[in-house]
Structure 1
Amino acid sequence: MEISKEVLVGVWSLDEFIVHRESGELFHWPGKQNGTLIYTDNGFVSVAQNREPLPNPTEEDKKRESNFYTATYELDLANNRVFHTGLQSSVQSVIGERMEREIKLLEDGRLWLSGKGLKERVTLVWSKVNK
């Protein structure tokens, strides 16, 4: 199945959150991840992600307990890209930033997004919520 705006629009639930370390390691953040991704038909996107608290979090873990932003989006389907331009965010530097994400639809119908996170490249895999 090809990605299209019609497929993209809707509510998605986070399945996987992977950090690509500079060393090449694929790092999964500890703790249960929760997230919601919403694309609207009129060009807005909202991302909310949090993690259950860890018993003995490191300073870095404390910074990664939650993340959210709202943005506008533009699709570049010919190049398998979506661009999010931040409107509001839990991280000040995201506001006004145009963030590029590679985008594809996996064979099982899940949405795969990958791009530069706050520090490293991140990949998130989402399942469509059918309600």
Structure 2
Amino acid sequence: MRARVEQDAKGRRQVVEACLEPCAIEKGMRIIGGKWTGSILWHLKDGPVRFNDLSRMIGGASKKMITERLRQLESQGLVRREVLDTAPVSVQYEITDFGATALGFLNELRLWSEGLPQSMVRDE
């Protein structure tokens, strides 16, 4: 169900019926909106990446945080994990076909954010 908004006699917009479930934007943000999630997917776009290489690509994120996000993405079907038979054992991650469907709008977000004035960009 979509929210319905109407104008009152003074021209103010008022919500008449609210959404009873998350809207499509909210659903998408719950999946993609976590910190580092988009960056992880973006860095996997060119093929499988070993965990340590991925953690170096994503500066500022702890290995613990990357591990948490990767587990979440794997459980959602966006990323595939593979344990490699090497000495020492290593793990690599690969974006799934479903995960790759997010790359289009992640690229649009990248282009949009590159055009932002520097005064709008701040570190958290």
Q: Does TM-score exceed 0.5, indicating one fold?
A: no
Larger Rg: 1 or 2? Answer: 2
Structure number with greater CO (CA < 8 Å, separation at least 6) is 1
TM bucket (normalised to shorter chain) is: under 0.3
TM-score by length of 1: 0.21
TM-score by length of 2: 0.22
Higher helix share: 2
